[in-house]
Structure 1
């Protein structure tokens, strides 16, 4: 058994779903969004979380789909807030249709996501739905913080790490936790899996920050340096501001808000990063969360051969080039 087996099950199931029929203007954007692809990391984690405790993961399949539909709902609404023109190389829903349609279609996706959990055994359903609601609210909290950071000049590193934990990492933790609970994991094992997922999520987002500056343009799939151009407050920028000399800090701040000479701006900021060894510092932080996550995975009472699948997936996520 390998990870591709679980990915195939997710993709096969997604290909059979309709979400609704009429009016088509409401449901076509949902089909479009779900067909854009993606890594399907979160639903695969749900199946792997279930697989740790029983070979049969059928009961976790539809909840895994619920996790993926919810994730894509957040992306659809995030794209509106970010005014993003592209998602995975294709037009975003609000660009292809319009903003109102994207809002409403996203709302339906959230409703459908809850429906995919309703087949869970009755004695577990209330617990899972409470956990899902908590996670969903945290994702929204993270997005709100991310938006607030755009206009704040005093964002601290720990604030940023908390924001990406809420916006990105908690959903990975929930995905594993729900899979484990569905297949009768002990509460302590489910908790360790959740913590493993959260730490992998933090490492995953920091890897994304790193790739935006130091990634291979051909592999990364989007413009390298985009975060610098848009003055996005990433771990790299905040760490640089904290470690910089007075002269370096002044130069970094002078580039903030400048929209002309984008290539020059990226090069100048990157040179400051290089001088402060920001790439090394960020990689060390990624490794810290990876090791912390592995500690929690090691504490899970399950076969090592099954836990190895999660370890391999974690390595893929934090060593990825795109």
Structure 2
């Protein structure tokens, strides 16, 4: 089974989803943000996890799209908090409409996510909704941590990893766990699915941090060095602040404190500091470690090897991605 088959099934169902009609100012923004594309990573993982244990993986399509609607709801609200002008190369909802519409449309997206998750068998519904509610709260906790970090310069690696675990990775883990729950897998299997997704999710975010500095601009799809320009507390910056000493640390801090600077010059200078203390190699080591943990979780799952290979191959593409 090819991932393309799952993608086509998701896109077909997504094109038919009805979020509501009136008033249009409430529902048009939902259709807009859901039409902007994206990797559809999370619903794909749900379908692949369901397929591990049953041929009837199509029953997971609507619940899987519930995860995608929830993910886009978080992006919509994050964009308001970040005052972001663009999402996937197009105007964000609050820019195209306004903040109040974006907030309310996001609220309805959360309601729609729950409605889509109701499309599971009755005996599994309580577990599915309970775990989703826990995960949704953790995502909010992670977002608050990320906001708290904006005013701190003493963020540790441990704190940063915990933040991305909550903000990003728990939803990836739940997406896989959801597939197991829908397919009727046992608790131990669902634990491996969840932990595997969580570890892959942390590795995925660390890879994103790395590509923002060292990615190929032609492949990355957005400005390389954007995190450096914005002084964003990424894994790379946190480690650089920890690893540098003396004049090199003073130079880094000087760049962080400048309010006026040439963007390209700053990116070159800070990247050079990263190079001098081996930040790229350290980040790659952490990425490989988390991906290895994730694959170990997948290896521990008792399922048809051919079906597991579909999931593992897809996960390996995440390891090797350049965008």
Same fold flag (TM > 0.5): yes
Deviations 1:215-271 (A, max 9, x none): 111111111000000000100111111111222222111111424211111111000
The 3-state SS of whatever aligns with 2:227 is helix
Query: How far does residue 18 in structure 1 lie from its aligned partner after superposition?
Result: 2.1
Following superposition, the deviation at residue 29 of structure 1 comes to: 0.3
* Alignment partners' CA distance in 2, 1:257 and 1:117: 46
* Higher mean displacement: 131-140 or 250-259: 250-259
Name the CA distance, whole Å, in 2 between partners of 1:246 and 1:149.
24
Residue of structure 2 equivalent to 1:286: 287
> Aligned-pair RMSD on alpha carbons?
0.8
Q: Which ranges in structure 1 are unaligned for 5 or more consecutive residues?
A: none
Q: Which position in structure 1 is the counterpart of 2:165? A: 165
- Pairwise mapping of residues 56-135 of structure 1 onto structure 2 (< 5 A)? 56-135=56-135
Shift of 1:58: 2.1
Q: Distance in 1 between matches of 2:9 and 2:15?
A: 10
CA distance in 1, matches of 2:72, 2:15: 15
Give the corresponding residue for 2:319: 318
TM-score, length basis structure 2: 0.98
- Equivalents in 1 of 2:252, 2:310: separation in Å? 42
Partners of 2:278 and 2:315 in 1: CA distance = 25
Matches of 2:139 and 2:56, distance apart in 1: 30
CA distance in 2, matches of 1:133, 1:257: 40
- Taking the aligned partners of 1:49 and 1:25, their CA distance within structure 2 comes to 36
SS of residue matched to 1:173: helix
- Give TM-score scaled by structure 1 length: 0.98
- How far apart are the structure 2 equivalents of 1:243 and 1:151? 21
Q: Distance in 1 between matches of 2:309 and 2:276?
A: 38
Instruction: Report SS of the residue matched to 1:13.
Output: helix
Which residue number corresponds to residue 141 of structure 1? 141
- Distance in 2 (CA, whole Å) between partners of 1:253 and 1:315 is 37
Q: How does 1:8-27 map to 2 (within 5 A)?
A: 8-27=8-27
Task: Please tell me whether the aligned partners of residues 231 and 257 of structure 1 are also in contact (alpha carbons under 8 angstroms).
Answer: no
How far off is 1:50 after superposition?
A: 0.5
- Looking at structure 1, the residues matched to 309 and 286 of structure 2 have their Cα atoms a distance apart, in angstroms, of 22
1:210 is aligned to 210
Q: For residues 127-183 of structure 1, give each alpha carbon's deviation from its aligned partner in whole angstroms, at most 9, with x where no partner exists.
A: 111100000000010010001101011100100000000000000000000111111
Equivalent-residue separation in structure 2 for 1:16 and 1:314 (angstroms): 28
Q: State the match for 2:296 in structure 1.
A: 295
Once residues 85 and 264 of structure 1 are traced to their aligned partners in structure 2, the CA distance between those partners, rounded to angstroms, is 24
Structure 1 runs of 4+ aligned residues shifted over 3 Å read none
Deviations 1:2-59 (A, max 9, x none): 1111111111100001200000010000000000000100000010110001111122
Structure 2 unpaired stretches of 5+: none
Question: Shift in Å at residue 272 of structure 1?
Answer: 0.5
What is the distance in 1 between the residues matched to 2:47 and 2:13? 13
